[in-house]
Amino acid sequence: KNEVEQSPQNLTAQEGEFITINCSYSVGISALHWLQQHPGGGIVSLFMLSSGKKKHGRLIATINIQEKHSSLHITASHPRDSAVYICAVRVGNQFYFGTGTSLTVIP
Amino acid sequence: GAGVSQSPSNKVTEKGKDVELRCDPISGHTALYWYRQRLGQGLEFLIYFQGNSAPDKSGLPSDRFSAERTGESVSTLTIQRTQQEDSAVYLCASSLSQVAYGYTFGSGTRLTVV
């Protein structure tokens, strides 16, 4: 069993839709990261969370430590948001990654 | 430089040869991470440096893999006696510290073992 589970694996949305990507984990964590990987392979760190909620532009990330669950929301989605979104958790000095959610936003 | 720099960007090597991959983190970033992504698969954590020390090396896939960091700056990941299953994109990321800050990723080294 993977320590980090993401859903959905694939997501197609129309431009403008509100998008939610979920991440559940089974271990005690120090922090949770949301990463964005573009088709060319480059990775960008979007958020690092240890509690509560963070917002950056149209992106919102929340975490519920008790439920071991995090969500990444994208408001007013745009084709340029098309990418793979990866949830990663830090446990001590180790990191565990979800398999990613492939998002395609259609104009 | 402004970002995390990795070199070479591409490396093709023959099975059994040794390779060395280099990562130049952002100046002042004390935390440095190595990851691997095999084709079609997710990210895999390899090793983390805080300063020049690696507190936990258990993520390295085998004893053919080693990494070092000097001057709290450049890090090298060395793979000895490369095997075809080592083919992957090797990514480096750095952070101001492990605790409170996000990461900046390099563009990776694509290693192909033939």
B17-32: pLDDT as tens digits: 999 999 999 998 988 9
Q: Which chain B residues are within 8 Å of A42, Cβ to Cβ?
A: 105, 107-108
B39-56: pLDDT as tens digits: 878 788 899 898 898 877
Which of B10, B57, B105, B109 is the best mutation test for A, with the most CBs of A within 10 A?
B105
Q: What are phi and psi for residue B86, nearest 5 degrees? A: -80, -10
Per-residue model confidence (pLDDT) at position B1: 53
Do B54 and B67 form a contact (C-beta atoms < 8 A)?
yes
Considering only CB atoms, B59 lies closest to which of A86, A94, A98, namely A94
Alpha carbon of B100: minimum distance to chain A alpha carbons (Å): 8
Per-residue model confidence (pLDDT) at position B97: 67
Calpha distance B14→A16 (Å, rounded): 48
Do B22 and B84 form a contact (C-beta atoms < 8 A)?
no
Does B112 contact A at CB distance below 8 Å?
Answer: no
Alpha carbon of B11: minimum distance to chain A alpha carbons (Å): 16
Among chain A residues, the shortest Cα distance to B89 is held by A41
Tokens of A93: 């000095």
Among candidate residues A93, A41, A95, A82, the one with its CA nearest the CA of residue B6? A41
Does B7 contact A at CB distance below 8 Å?
Answer: no
Does B70 contact A at CB distance below 8 Å?
Answer: no
Sign of CA dihedral A47, B2, A95, A35: positive
Q: Is the pLDDT of residue B99 over 70?
A: no
Q: Which chain A residues are within 8 Å of B43, Cβ to Cβ?
A: 35, 43, 86, 88, 97
Per-residue model confidence (pLDDT) at position B11: 97
Residues of chain A with pLDDT under 50: none
Per-residue model confidence (pLDDT) at position B98: 58
Does B34 contact A at CB distance below 8 Å?
Answer: no
- Give the other-Cβ count within 10 Å of A30's Cβ: 14
Considering only CB atoms, A41 lies closest to which of B45, B103, B108, namely B108
Calpha distance B7→B29 (Å, rounded): 18
pLDDT mean across residues, chain B: 89
Tokens of B75: 């890090």
Among candidate residues B84, B61, B109, the one with its CA nearest the CA of residue B15? B84
A23-41: pLDDT as tens digits: 999 988 888 999 998 877 6
CA A56 to chain centre: 13
Per-residue model confidence (pLDDT) at position B38: 87
Among chain A residues, the shortest Cα distance to B58 is held by A94
| Spatial CB neighbours of B96, under 8 Å, sequence gap ≥ 6 | B28, B29, B30, B31
Give the bridge partners for B104, in sequence order: B94
A45–B33: do the CB atoms touch at under 8 Å?
no
Give the bridge partners for B4, in sequence order: none
Per-residue model confidence (pLDDT) at position B75: 97
Among candidate residues B66, B69, B64, the one with its CA nearest the CA of residue B82? B64
